[in-house]
Amino acid sequence: MTTTAPPQTTIRHGIGESVRRPDGVPKVTGNFAFSSDLSATGMLWGATLRSPYPHAEITKLDTAPALAVPGVAAVMTWEDVPGRKTYGLEVADQPVLSDGRVCYWGEPVAIAAAETPEDARAALAAIVVEYDELEPLTDAEEAAAAGETFRTITVRRGDRDVAGAVVVEGEYVVGMQDQAPLGPESGLAIPDDQGGVDLYVATQWSHTDHAQIIASLDKSPDEVRVHLSGIGGAFGAREDVSLQIHLCLLALRTGRPVKMVYDRSESFVGHVHRHPAKLWYRHEATEDGDLVKVTARLLFDGGAYTSSSPAVIGNATYFAVGPYRCDNVSVDGIMVRTNNPPCGAMRGFGAVQACFGHESQMDKLAAALGMDPLDLRQRNALGTGDHMPTTGQLVETPLPTARMIDELRAMPGAPELSAEHPLHLPGGTGLTTDPAHITRGVGYAISIKNLAFSEGFDDYTEVRVVIDAAGVEVHTAAAEVGQGLVTLCQQIARTVLGIENIVVRFDDTSLIGSAGSTSASRQTQMTGGAVEAASRALLADILDAYRADRLDDAGAWHNGELVASLEHIADHGPNERHIRFRHPPTETADENGQGRLHVDFAVAGHRATVDVDRELGLVRVVRIDTVQDVGKVLNPAALVGQVEGGVMQGVGLGMMEELIIEDGIIKNPNFTDYLLPTFADAPEVHARFIEEPSIFGPFGAKGAGEPPAISSTAAVAAAISNAIERRIARVPIRPDDIIGITPKSF
């Protein structure tokens, strides 16, 4: 994989420019078709009956009355699933429709298709279903004690008998966050006339959907085609199957197209969430501030089904110490099974929770040592050539932790509080805050995360680059969820090939192999890397075939003469490269959690400045300054957009975003009660980037989507703690926590 070869020529709208999105115009004019906007002639509407209990036996299930409702075309239950009755990303343990025991609140029990959404809802209401409630297991500690776990990981590195002169301990809690993509789960399934089906759906990974769908439908791979439709955000919420199998079942049963759109309340039970976690840490250091030993226990609640929980606890455990050198480390990561809502992927994927723990500890340790918190971090900063504190893996990629800390420290601070407009006060335009009660706080946090898939997973992506008379088509099944991969693919192909007219085609599962998931910050490096590699190979083929020295939109050139037009190349070749791109392999861990588990890492750091109304417990996050290790800036505006958006989600977890679960039931499944940051909450974000080319990835770029959402939460918590001179060990931080009237310990 070449990352150092210079671009062939300087081309407009290539690498390094803030190129406009190719899907931008349809998006600003309302013409972009999201999955919820699709329709087909003769279309039925699907709906899902869900369990009102977190744990129960179904004692009676009678769908006959529902079938009698006017307009109803089909009602289906577990018995109607022709193939595998369960699905799942890592383990197929989640029933497509309940098999008689429901294990979480909102678990699908039956599905219906009808002429209108109203008819479909009427059908659900007519289904007779009776439950025997069972005691739900909702306490993570109880689940751990009972051995109800999806995965436990033990990291043992170094000498467990060594001790430090200065010791700090702490227990930390992270609430359950939701990805809350604005586009609801939705899709359209259209049966063909040969027993197969085409599914148009918003997903992060069409090929893994496809594999799960054909297993449950008992179809051969070519009978089902999954098409990427317009995706209204994802952030991890679309990695698991939601309505995909249901839609196909209904379409095949009725022989008609079926559309399904979750409303927001259903969306909140229709996808997995960020795991709530309880973290216990002990840090030991020399009196000079060198980390000697870190001991931790991380308890994550995976909810009722596996989803990606095993990988999430892997990340939490392996990044439990943060980007610091430490030779003696002992971490126990425990992912429990309960009757709470299933949890899985969300931006940051286990590293977010761990970061709140390790960064709270670093601040606590700095205070115990009487050191500046950044000096302590700098003293222990992990870099290239060091070994990961947890896994012992040698860090081979550029890891500019120390430089990042220096640059973050050097960034100008936020200006003094300006009370000109109440928007800038903690109470906002509600005018509740008296400026005299405001205290400013500043806090820092830094993080490390893996890029792309780890732990021995065969991580690959397929790309096909094709010359046609008009230019170049790049084919991929990678999900463009909003992050801008579509623009990067164009920029990369342009810069390599020298051809400006690049069109990106998102192929269905029958036309190209998997691109892997749009997750783990991986698509820029993986699919972007594949576009670079395929383009370079195709360029070499063409230059060689025509003894040319250059390619552009006109064709191939030799010594300033056009030797083959693009049309000629398209007709006579070489005109195509189809590649499967892999990153360097990784390994699984040994019994002590040791090994080369990760292919690449990125670090990021955040400084939060907050104004706190100590009387009312209200907070205004004034500003986030950040430095991020990105390898190479490919599209400055898109990168800044990833950083600002990720920071906002991190601030959200720090301040307000929490699904409240009581006895297994989500109490706030709507945007009135699950608060998302708005313009009124938005801090200014100032970002700087470190460009040290990675070991793989297009032009040396590293994935950049997740790091903004990792240490931003911990930085906000540190800043609030700094303002109120008391460490708050739980996020989101609520007004009661700030005032100090929280009724229970957390």
Partner 1 sequence: MRITFQVNGEERSTDVHGAESLLDVLRDRLALPGSKNACEQGECGSCSVVLDGELVCSCLVMAVDADSSTVTTVEGLTDGDHLHPVQEVMLDAGGVQCGFCTPGFVVAAAHLFAADPTPSDDDIMEALAGNVCRCTGYGSILRGLSALAEANRHGGEP
Residues of the shown chain interacting with partner 1 in the complex, contacts defined by CB under 8 A: 18, 20-21, 23-25, 27-34, 36-37, 118, 180-184, 230-235, 261, 263-264, 420-421, 423-424, 429, 481-484, 637-638, 640-641, 643-649, 670-672, 676, 678-680, 682, 684-685
3-state secondary structure of 332: strand
Using alpha carbons, list the distances in angstroms from residue 158 to 389, 391, 589.
Answer: 9, 11, 16
CA–CA gap between residue 567 and residue 149 (Å, rounded): 60
Residue 113, Cβ neighbours under 10 Å: how many? 31
CA–CA gap between residue 50 and residue 121 (Å, rounded): 12
Let me know: does 647 contact 641? Beta carbons within 8 Å: no
Place of tokens 């050198």: 325
Closest CA to 480 of 184, 229, 226, 697: 229
For partner 1, the closer of residues 347 and 734 by Cβ is 347
Q: Say what angle helices 636-655 and 711-724 make with each other, to 10 degrees.
A: 50
CA pseudo-torsion sign 226, 45, 218, 129: positive
CA–CA gap between residue 99 and residue 453 (Å, rounded): 32
CA–CA gap between residue 630 and residue 599 (Å, rounded): 15
CA–CA gap between residue 354 and residue 464 (Å, rounded): 38
- Greatest distance between any 2 Cα atoms in the chain: 82
CA–CA gap between residue 442 and residue 419 (Å, rounded): 18
CA–CA gap between residue 570 and residue 450 (Å, rounded): 40
Composition of the chain by helix, strand, coil, percent to 5: 30, 30, 45
For partner 1, the closer of residues 194 and 678 by Cβ is 678
